[in-house]
């Protein structure tokens, strides 16, 4: 398992270095409304290239918690600048999930992540955001409790 995680992290870092334009770091509360809470850490990379629509962008991400939960995946987000320095960023992704030592069993190794973030530009290269996300296996398994995460993001644009 450690080799798979290391390989995915290295592949993620390599592809991000070569192609992407925004790096996001986040810390938050995993299962913030439940009894299995843990601290959640994220590293997301948003690509500069729009697909199908303007401002619809691919992203990849790594998510890990203090109880050993890991999620590795990617998807699409829409970066809508609705005011001079404000962004609304809904996104959806799919990835590999490992429970670690958490008591919360999400039921399947494939988990979908939906997220809604509101971010404010601090300067041309930096922004801060608040995000609410949900992980769920979309009924791929009979066990599908889902989990909510609230995160504070810092984004750095290259």
Q: What is the CATH number of the domain that holds 54?
A: 2.40.160.20
Token pair 């992540």 is found at: 113
The whole model's pTM is what? 0.85
The mean pLDDT of the chain is 90
Would you place residue 6 in the very low, low, confident or very high pLDDT band (cuts 50, 70, 90)?
A: low
Q: Is it the case that residue 20 has pLDDT exceeding 50?
A: no
CB 131 within 8 A of CB 148: no
B/e letters for 18-52, b = 16+ CB within 10 Å, e = fewer, are eebebbbebebbbbeeeeebbebbbbbbbbeeeee
Percent of the chain whose predicted confidence (pLDDT) is above 90: 80
Sign, CA dihedral 145-29-70-91, equals: positive
Task: Give residue 33's pLDDT.
Answer: 86
**CA–CA dist 18, 26 (Å, integer):** 22
**CA–CA dist 25, 8 (Å, integer):** 18
Provide the domain limits for residue 7. Answer: 2-157
What DSSP element (H or E) covers 60?
A: strand 56-65
Note the pLDDT tens digit of each residue in 57-69.
999 999 999 999 9
**CA–CA dist 8, 71 (Å, integer):** 11
Report how many domains make up the chain. 1
Mean pLDDT of 17-36: 85
Note the pLDDT tens digit of each residue in 55-106.
999 999 999 999 999 999 999 999 999 999 999 999 999 999 999 999 999 9
Note the pLDDT tens digit of each residue in 29-54.
999 988 889 999 999 999 988 998 99
Query: Measured between alpha carbons, how far is residue 88 from residues 22, 79, 81, 84 in Å?
Result: 15, 6, 6, 12
Q: Is it the case that residue 14 has pLDDT exceeding 80?
A: no
Q: Which of 151, 89, 157 is nearest to 117 (CA)?
A: 89
């Amino acid at each position: 398992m450690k080799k798979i995680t290391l390989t995915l992290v290295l592949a993620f870092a390599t592809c991000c270095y070569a192609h992407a334009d925004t790096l996001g770091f986040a810390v938050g509360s995993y299962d913030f409304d439940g009894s299995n809470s843990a601290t959640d850490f994220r590293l997301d990379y948003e690509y500069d290239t729009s697909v199908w629509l303007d401002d619809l962008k691919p992203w990849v991400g790594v998510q890990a918690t203090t109880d050993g939960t890991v999620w590795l995946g990617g998807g699409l987000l829409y970066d809508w600048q609705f005011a001079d320095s404000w962004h609304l960023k809904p996104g959806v992704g799919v990835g590999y999930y490992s429970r670690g030592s958490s008591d919360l069993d999400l039921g399947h190794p494939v988990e979908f992540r939906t997220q809604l973030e509101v971010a404010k530009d601090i300067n041309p290269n930096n922004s801060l955001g608040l995000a609410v996300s949900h992980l769920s296996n979309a009924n791929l398994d009979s066990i599908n409790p889902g989990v909510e995460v609230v995160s504070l993001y810092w984004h750095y644009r290259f």
